[in-house]
Amino acid sequence: MPATRTSLQPFAWLTTALLVLATACNWTPPSPLPTLEPPVEIAIPSPTVPVLPTADEVTASPHVPPAGWSTYTNRTFGYAFDYPAEAELVEVGVTGYPTEELPAGVDPGQYIATLEATYSEAICAGVRYGTAFLYISPPEEAGGRFSLPCGVSGVGTYDLRPVEESVTIGAETLNAQGSAIYSLGDGSFLYEFFFVPTRGFRFNYGGDWTQAGTTYEAYLADKAVLQQVLASWQWLE
């Protein structure tokens, strides 16, 4: 989608025709129609992936997801992952922009429409499975700043305790850090969330079994499925 809008003068032929008619019939035409404003230049950042995978991390043979699973592919940001049929696929596009990036003389609605045309695939993507969730956002400089917030974290007054664990994302085993949230009243364990930054991307996963009316053990089973989703991660060429 082009980043500029070009305005023509669609009534020029009509004015010329009226002048010819006036000469032939001694008739005075109306005043010439006003010309339209010149086009406005809008600079839109290109969606690019700043860090490319190494040759060893790119799947050489055609990928086949597990039975009953599908593969989500995002060509704009260069990745793919598998997810089960029971999961809810999350795809969020443009939600806004930093106010200081609005070009001078450009209407906010026009700028949003241009961003939506530029980023035609999801910027924030992921899955929800039972009580567990996973959100992936690309680097902010590559377009991630146009779809915020991407993920969830602790909101409200709770006892937040730092936690960390190892997680496999594709071919990498990484350290995930986050918080375990406990009630200030009775000290009950309510939910947890983790963050993993890698290659400028941000992975946010965790779960809330309390609001779902189930148990921590049920959440762990859902979380194990999301860990399989993370393990299926592929960097695309």
What is the SS3 assignment for 216-231?
A: HHHHHHHHHHHHHHHH
What pLDDT is attached to residue 65? 87
Q: pLDDT tens for residues 35-74? A: 444 445 556 556 555 454 554 555 445 678 889 999 999 9
234 within 8 A of 80, measured Cβ to Cβ: yes
Please list, residue by residue across 60-99, b when 16 or more beta carbons sit within 10 angstroms of its beta carbon and e when fewer do: eeeeeeeeebeebebebbbbbbbbbeebeebebebeebee
What pLDDT is attached to residue 42? 57
Lowest-pLDDT range, 3-17, 27-41, 44-58, 218-232?
3-17
Nearest to 138 by CA among 63, 39, 147: 147
**The listed CATH number (3.40.720, 2.60.40, 3.40.1000, 1.10.443) that belongs to domain 55-235:** 3.40.1000
Residue spans in the chain of domains classed CATH 3.40.1000: 55-235
Q: pLDDT tens for residues 80-137? A: 999 999 999 999 999 999 999 999 999 999 999 999 999 999 999 999 999 999 999 9
Q: How confident is the model at residue 33 (pLDDT cuts 50, 70, 90)?
A: very low
pLDDT at 10 over 90: no
What pLDDT is attached to residue 66? 87
pLDDT at 208 over 60: yes
* Separation of alpha carbons 217 and 132, rounded Å: 12
What pLDDT is attached to residue 236? 95
Give the list of residues 6+ apart from residue 211 with CB closer than 8 angstroms, or none: 191
Q: Where are the beta strands (DSSP E) in the chain?
A: 69-74, 79-84, 88-92, 124-129, 132-137, 159-169, 172-182, 189-198, 201-208, 234-235
Q: Which residue in the block uniquely carries the two structure tokens 């079994």?
A: 209
pTM for the structure as a whole = 0.75
Q: What is the mean pLDDT of residues 197-214?
A: 96
161 within 8 A of 179, measured Cβ to Cβ: yes
